[in-house]
Amino acid sequence: MEPERLQKYIARCGVTSRRKAEKMILDGRIKINGIKVTELGTKVEPNSDVIMVDNKKISPVDKYIYLKLYKPEGYVTTVRDQFNRKTVLDLIDIKERIYPVGRLDYNTSGLLLLTNDGDLANRLTHPKYHIYKTYVAEIEGRTGENIINRLKSGVVIDGYRTAPAKVEFLKWEGNRSTVQISIYEGKNRQVRKMFDAVGHKVIKLNRISFGEINLGNLKIGSWKNLSNKEVKFLKRKQEE
């Protein structure tokens, strides 16, 4: 077998995506044959080198797992948390190592995909593939057509203009509005920041779909394996 880039090998072992594997390398969490490695260009010999993550030996996965979870508020979308907060993996009882695809904020609920397919996760989180994630946002104040059009066109947050979004007003209730918004980017707290930029604070945020995959009949805090149709959607996006 040909030498392989370390971050690609880590992803193939189901540890995390390639981009997150790069950070693990830079953080000094990877050893090859007992020696700590921090160079991103490092290559490994898969058939002979012993690669360890956090002092645990890793090896390529036997089969890929694809799950969807209805994440409740109050959980972090990481494998482990430095502040010992509850993570989404606390809700899933399987023996295989899996990790989240992308992120949902601590105070955001909704659809989250998890897998051990590192190459797929890397592609699904890249904005160039234009996979729309759809959210229902309950916001302070009564919004109108002008605000909806601004969000559709993109707004400036953190010094850059967001890509055009799909936005639909759903209802008013008292001094609150409910809006559905779909974006294909995945910046940190992006939806909340977009509404902040147009003068509306998000009170509750729920992700209801990831491309063609939706929550279906999942109850909050529960999970299930993706259907063959849902996996085919992900694989199709991987090949585009």
Q: Point out the residues that are catalytic.
A: 105
CB 123 within 8 A of CB 238: yes
Q: Which of 147, 131, 111, 237 is nearest to 183 (CA)?
A: 131
Angle, CA 182 vertex, CA 179 and CA 185 arms, to 5°: 135
Tokens of 186: 């995945």
State the residue for tokens 């972090």: 76
Question: Any idea what DSSP says for residue 88?
Answer: G
d(CA 54, CA 60): 16
The single-letter code of the amino acid at 224 is K
202-210 and 109-115 beta bridge pairing: parallel
Nearest to 25 by CA among 13, 10, 12: 10
